[in-house]
Amino acid sequence: MDDARDDYADANRAMWNATADVHARASLPKLLERVAHPDFSTFDFVEKRVFTRLGLFGKDVAQPSCNNGRELISCKKAGAAHCVGFDVSEGFIAQGQALAQASGVDVTFVRTDVYDIPHDYNAGFDIVYVTIGALGWLRDLPEYMGVVARLLRPGGHLFLYEMHPILDMFDAATGLEVKHSYFRTEPYVEDAAPDYLDTDTVVEGTSYWFHHKMSDIIGGALGAGLELRLFEEFEHDQSEVYAAFEGFEKKPPLSYALLAQKS
Ligand SMILES: C[S@@+](CC[C@H](N)C(=O)[O-])C[C@H]1O[C@@H](n2cnc3c(N)ncnc32)[C@H](O)[C@@H]1O
């Protein structure tokens, strides 16, 4: 890992641990109750459709940047086999373990930077599932797609369901006013920003967000040897940050789903 990436990764990890402390107070207690329900699921209509197409039942699933693991617990409750979540934050890994225990399902959580996922996991999964707010914290997308590809078995799929990178051109607070170039390469730097779930609480620390063009995302998957199977853009927001954009008459795409297969 080069020094610059080390610095970005260290700062982002500290910010995510501070965020985990906020979420432990703001949202974890309710979530611990919700996951205990046998029908607990975070899947929306896109995830239900894609997982039906892939046949989630009996499949081994990895989720890099799994946060508190609620989506991976949903996979397990929907019949997935071995489920492993990877996240850089100690705080969120601990919450994932607590949520798995409360939900009564067996899900493994590993604290690691995605770039350092141990090679023991190579070719261990049928599905690599990546959701909302994962890619922007990662500086090197081609290397990341290489990690995804090595985790997949031949025939396995990357299912990426993310916020649309065009949103990086706007400021959620000021709506459709273009603030940044779509071709921006320098990271967005944020200091002491409000938490995205508990907006009354400020999360201390500096964080770095990296804009990745859609062509870099698709090109990264293709470059890692994956074959594109599905690509869709949606007018719904998954992030909550851009929820107001759903009400605009003229709106940019707010989210997308990409399915790519390892041959
Ligand atoms: C917005 S959250 C993902 C949210 C998840 N989709 C969900 O809804 O729960 C981003 C997650 O990425 C993790 N993360 C950020 N950089 C990472 C890295 N380099 N390696 C592993 N995890 C990372 C953070 O700790 C955080 O839990």
Q: Is the CB of 8 under 6 A from ligand 1?
A: no
Number of domains in the chain: 1
Phi-psi region of 106 (alpha: psi -120 to 50; beta: other; left: phi over 0): beta
CATH number of the domain residue 204 falls in: 3.40.50.150
Q: Is the CB of 134 under 6 A from ligand 1?
A: yes
Q: Is the CB of 238 under 6 A from ligand 1?
A: no
pLDDT digits (tens, 9 = 90+) for 10-49: 999 999 999 999 999 989 999 999 999 999 999 999 999 9
The residue whose CB lies within 8 Å of the most ligand 1 atoms, and thus the one to mutate among 137, 148, 162, is: 137
Instruction: Please tell me the predicted confidence (pLDDT) of residue 2.
Output: 63
Nearest by Cα to 48 from 7, 11, 72, 78: 78
* 67 CA distance to ligand 1 middle (Å): 5
Q: Would you say the pTM of this structure is higher than 0.85? A: yes
Q: Which two tokens stand for residue 152?
A: 């997949």
Beta 61-64 vs 108-111: how paired, if at all?
unpaired
In whole angstroms, give the CA distance from residue 36 to residue 85: 19
Q: Is the CB of 151 under 6 A from ligand 1?
A: no
CA 17 to ligand 1: nearest atom: 25
Exposure string over 112-146, b if 16+ CB within 10 A, otherwise e: ebbbebeeebeeebbbbbbbbbbbbbbbebeebbb
Q: Which two tokens stand for residue 148?
A: 């995804």
Instruction: Please tell me the predicted confidence (pLDDT) of residue 198.
Output: 78
In whole angstroms, give the CA distance from residue 53 to residue 56: 8
Q: Is the CB of 133 under 6 A from ligand 1?
A: yes
Q: What percent of the chain has pLDDT over 70?
A: 98
Model confidence at 240, pLDDT cuts 50, 70, 90, reads confident
The closest residue, in CA terms, to atom 9 on ligand 1 is 67
In whole angstroms, give the CA distance from residue 199 to residue 219: 35
pLDDT digits (tens, 9 = 90+) for 111-126: 999 999 999 999 999 9
CA 138 to ligand 1: nearest atom: 19
Beta bridge partners of 220: none
* 211 CA distance to ligand 1 middle (Å): 15
CB-based contact 81:60 (threshold 8 Å): yes
Compute the mean pLDDT over every residue in the chain, rounded to the nearest whole number. Answer: 95
Instruction: Please tell me the predicted confidence (pLDDT) of residue 181.
Output: 98
Three-state DSSP class for residue 170: coil
The closest residue, in CA terms, to atom 13 on ligand 1 is 65
In whole angstroms, give the CA distance from residue 210 to residue 138: 6
Neighbouring residues of 241: CB distance < 8 A, sequence distance ≥ 6: 163, 172, 196
Model confidence at 3, pLDDT cuts 50, 70, 90, reads low
Q: Is the CB of 103 under 6 A from ligand 1?
A: no
Domain extent for 206: 3-262
Angle, CA of 234, 180 and 3, to the nearest 5°? 100
Model confidence at 192, pLDDT cuts 50, 70, 90, reads confident
